[in-house]
Structure 1
Amino acid sequence: MQTVDVIVIGAGLAGLTTARELGNSGHKVLVLEAQDRLGGRIYTDDRLGVHLELGGNWLHWLQPHVWAEVTRYGLEVDRGPRSEECYWLQNGEVVKNDLAGFLAFIDPGQRKLVARSAEIMPRPDLIEGGAEFRAADQLSLQEVFDGLDLSDEERDANECAWVGHCNGPLDQVSYSAAIRWTAATAGEWGVMHTASSVLRITAGNSTLVDVIAGDVKGEIRLNSPVVKICHQRDGGEVTLADGSISRARRIVNTLPLNILHKLDIEPPLSPVKREASEEGTGSRGLKLWIRVKGPIKPFFAYSSQHHNLSVIRTEFVNAEDAVLVAFGADIDRFDFENIAAVSEALKVWRDDLEVLEVAAHPWGRDPYAEETWMIQRPGAYTRSQAELQRNEDSLYFASSDIANLWAGFFDGAIESGLRTAREVHTSLGAAYREFPRSADQ
């Protein structure tokens, strides 16, 4: 039986950050990853002639934890082409303008929606417990939109912008999701929009994963799915699918929320953690890449949350082709792998685009994720945020899903990994005093 100080389950950003920090603090670390690659929900693949981000895509200097890593490792960052055209729907008709025109059109609605977010959540880096925030958390984003004084055209456009952020039906999304992210940019919705959807790592986002993994002082073992965790106050064991067992003084579980309850854990997870995992996130949407025949002008387009594709934009453009990225609220709404079906979805805005190839990773159907990024359902934050961060005996938790500041982003994963590594290190210091190691350990 292998024995280490800390076992980290999962080699995504949260797990690798945790492992790096603990290894640098002198602890013997073992990282167990179920899949044959690093990164978790960061998944860069060379498809459609580009570095294609099938998972997490964008980062920004306003996201402090991930930008510190960009600076630490000297990573080059760039952006996609600036949109020259923008399309959206009014009364069932397509309006063509520019992106500035669309943003001006939705600005009054966005201000009504989130203008007070910085007052409601003055410290988004901390778990919020104020009465006004708790009340907002009980509402769905759809309920709030329905209560705003907007025309049908304004409401469709404003809702659609948030489908791109939330990747799910707005009646399944807590209003607190909009509050939290906009509070992170001091209440400025336009800044939040930019911070969450523009910049990317030039060589592919997996570069960030690779450089952090390269600094892990310990073993990273791929193709090693964990099937059981047993934990006590002074340590625990993990059992792998091949029957092998490893023991550690601390175990860090970084599984996405939607699959947390599916792992055999003894003693069982607290009822709040289990119920939060069983309820699942509100994000059940689709991210789809589409290569079309060029030349085209870079464009942005919005329809409504009820269309197969709600948001689409040009992310790469060349003389002979362009690669678009699109988002829809429901992964099961249409056959997104069928070029004819995708071509039909694009005709909501324009019928002059010839689809050449498509690519996507269906995260909602991935057994090691079953979700895209964290979007909590109404009331979920208030019920479970603090508990999801709390350790149980020697079992600790880290994930972008349970971060405070930029939950669902790279930044949240790193924030959570740093916090958990600090907590584990502190606890191990006490454990060493209470449970000294034998000479052969």
Structure 2
Amino acid sequence: MVDTSPWAQLFKGNRTMRHGTSVDNPAEVIDVIVVGAGLAGLVAARDLTDKGFQVAVLEGRNRIGGRTFAREVVSTTQKVDFGGTWVIPAEHTAVMAELQHYAIRSVPTPLPTHFITELDGMLSDKGFLFESEIGEMTRAFDVIARRAEPDATADGALRSIGLDAGLLAWVQATQRYLSGAPLTDLSGVDCSGMSPSDLANPDHYTHTIDGTSQRLVDAIAGSSQATLLLNTEVAAVHTTVDGFAVLDRARNRLVARNVVIAVPLNMLVDIDFRPRIPAATALGESRHAGHSVKLWMTVRNVVGWPRLFSASGPIAYARLERQLDSGDAFLVGFSDDPAMANASASEVQTALQAFLPDIEVLGVDAHDWNADHFARGTWMAPRPGQLQQVGALADLSYTNGIHFSGADLCVGNYGTIEGAIVSGRQAAARISDQP
């Protein structure tokens, strides 16, 4: 993947188009423009260039990867993922196929040695739900799926069926961690579609990618023949007689027969689609509910490998992730309070001491995805009614032929690395399979 600019020189010297057609004008209509160089966009671009399509990837950031992003923790030499991290080898077949293709290993996350769980203000050592509780939750979700109104929140739906208070607190704790949002913000119908067995085990995301997820991002980009333009924020996509005209903020213009939009849903409101695509505008304006904060904490005085899990308070979930040679350790944690992205070490220490009284927090680091101009939130967590709008974006007759892609859109795997890869592959397949 080559970074090329300005746009007028985009395909200078590359005269080969799809089906062997040649062009003399570098501003000629190209095959595909992919908007967004996150995992979905990179996978779509790679798959399409493998099929012989001429592809340009336009990315607003000065880097690739989108919400998959790794760097060193402040004041350390330890590189970690500040964005997408964990995978499930037994379930995430697309991720595992990519890792195998590029000879990258997945690495098991250290298992917790003890659990500290807060539900309804009470601490316990409960680590998982019992089989009887999973059964009760399964029955509750089945009732919600059959009876809940599309505009019902998860909190309202669960309370309306009289779910046991302890189980309600468990679901609340789980969603604060997995969705990065309170139950009052989340879709009841979507919540009922989640696997109770997954909710029963907060640690069911079991593996990371060796060398961080950035290693996979770089491998996919490195094997692509697409042309990459960084620092190129797309402002408009207009339907033309030749296909689609894509304009950036500086009003540079490029025309393609196909367009793939692979940016976070919360960013769609910034793109002027003509003709208008109502669901894209609505999703961008309302923003999905996911606003998690991921914290990397350098800590001391921690025994074993604890896992914290809480239905209230600043920290929704935390576990020891890495022992350091210095004798200190890394604790990774999640909060559903956006303000925690700027919390001080002393503030985080106070929050953690409710679970681990002797812990000392030496430093805290985070990337504030909620304030990030190119994300405005974390992974997809649907509000009531939003999944119907997401579904509309899969209909090419509704989107005027524009292909929407990304982890936010991959129902069944939304908000995951798996979802990004699957969605990127699907977008590429829809284009390459066209007559």
TM-score when normalising by structure 1 = 0.84
Separation in 2 of the partners of 1:277 and 1:135?
25
Separation in 1 of the partners of 2:335 and 2:386?
23
Contact 1:233 1:394 in 2 (8 A): no
Match of 2:382 in 1: 376
Contact 1:7 1:30 in 2 (8 A): yes
Match of 2:84 in 1: 56
Contact 1:8 1:32 in 2 (8 A): yes
Separation in 1 of the partners of 2:119 and 2:236?
53
Match of 1:33 in 2: 59
Contact 1:289 1:325 in 2 (8 A): yes
CA 1:194/1:295 → structure 2, altered by over 3 Å: closer, same or farther? closer
Of 227, 230, 233, the match for 1:222 = 230
AA of the residue aligned to 2:310: S
Superposition deviation, residue 149 in structure 1: 5.2
AA of the residue aligned to 1:139: A
Superposition deviation, residue 426 in structure 1: 2.8
Contact 1:303 1:348 in 2 (8 A): no
CA 1:134/1:368 → structure 2, altered by over 3 Å: closer, same or farther? farther
Match of 1:9 in 2: 35
Superposition deviation, residue 354 in structure 1: 0.9
Match of 2:12 in 1: none
Identity of matched residues, %: 26
Which runs of structure 2 are paired with 1:156-235 in the superposition (5 Å)?
A: 156-182=169-195, 188-189=197-198, 193-195=202-204, 197-232=205-240, 234-235=242-243
Separation in 2 of the partners of 1:360 and 1:194?
21
Which runs of structure 2 are paired with 1:74-93 in the superposition (5 Å)?
A: 74-89=103-118, 92-93=121-122
Contact 1:232 1:393 in 2 (8 A): no
Match of 1:345 in 2: 351
Q: Secondary structure at the match of 2:331?
A: strand
Match of 2:152 in 1: 139
Consecutive unaligned residues in structure 1, runs of 5 or more: 121-130, 431-441
1:329 aligns with 2:329: no
1:45 aligns with 2:71: yes
Superposition deviation, residue 110 in structure 1: 4.2
Separation in 1 of the partners of 2:212 and 2:276?
39
The one-character-per-residue Cα deviations of 1:90-124 (angstroms, maximum 9, x if unpaired) are: 563433x3xxx42146x54444234686x79xxxx
Contact 1:289 1:324 in 2 (8 A): yes
Which runs of structure 2 are paired with 1:232-311 in the superposition (5 Å)?
A: 232=240, 234-269=242-277, 271-294=278-301, 296-304=303-311, 306-311=312-317
The one-character-per-residue Cα deviations of 1:14-64 (angstroms, maximum 9, x if unpaired) are: 101110111111110011111111100101112244331111111122112
Q: Secondary structure at the match of 1:188?
A: helix
Match of 2:128 in 1: 103
The one-character-per-residue Cα deviations of 1:115-145 (angstroms, maximum 9, x if unpaired) are: 686x79xxxxxxxxxx946847543221243
Match of 1:361 in 2: 367
Separation in 2 of the partners of 1:313 and 1:370?
26
Of 134, 137, 140, the match for 1:113 = 137
AA of the residue aligned to 2:104: L
Which runs of structure 2 are paired with 1:150-161 in the superposition (5 Å)?
A: 152-161=165-174
The one-character-per-residue Cα deviations of 1:237-290 (angstroms, maximum 9, x if unpaired) are: 212233322121111111111110121222222x23322221211112211111
Separation in 1 of the partners of 2:259 and 2:201?
35
Q: Secondary structure at the match of 2:112?
A: coil
Of 101, 108, 112, the match for 1:72 = 101
TM-score when normalising by structure 2 = 0.85
Separation in 1 of the partners of 2:105 and 2:426?
26
CA 1:14/1:276 → structure 2, altered by over 3 Å: closer, same or farther? same
The one-character-per-residue Cα deviations of 1:209-254 (angstroms, maximum 9, x if unpaired) are: 1111112112112122112222236411212233322121111111
Q: Secondary structure at the match of 2:393?
A: helix
Q: Secondary structure at the match of 2:184?
A: helix
CA RMSD, aligned part only?
2.5
AA of the residue aligned to 1:205: S
Contact 1:115 1:188 in 2 (8 A): no
Consecutive unaligned residues in structure 2, runs of 5 or more: 1-7, 9-26
Separation in 2 of the partners of 1:213 and 1:329?
32
The one-character-per-residue Cα deviations of 1:333-354 (angstroms, maximum 9, x if unpaired) are: x564311111111122122111
CA 1:403/1:203 → structure 2, altered by over 3 Å: closer, same or farther? same
The one-character-per-residue Cα deviations of 1:277-333 (angstroms, maximum 9, x if unpaired) are: 2121111221111110255311101222x311111111112351111111112213x
Match of 1:408 in 2: 415
CA 1:112/1:359 → structure 2, altered by over 3 Å: closer, same or farther? same
Separation in 2 of the partners of 1:286 and 1:108?
32
Contact 1:140 1:170 in 2 (8 A): yes
Separation in 2 of the partners of 1:376 and 1:38?
26
AA of the residue aligned to 1:309: I
Q: Secondary structure at the match of 2:84?
A: coil
AA of the residue aligned to 1:189: D
Separation in 1 of the partners of 2:308 and 2:428?
42
Q: Secondary structure at the match of 1:365?
A: coil
Match of 1:425 in 2: 432
Separation in 1 of the partners of 2:161 and 2:332?
30
Contact 1:288 1:336 in 2 (8 A): no
Separation in 2 of the partners of 1:393 and 1:151?
47
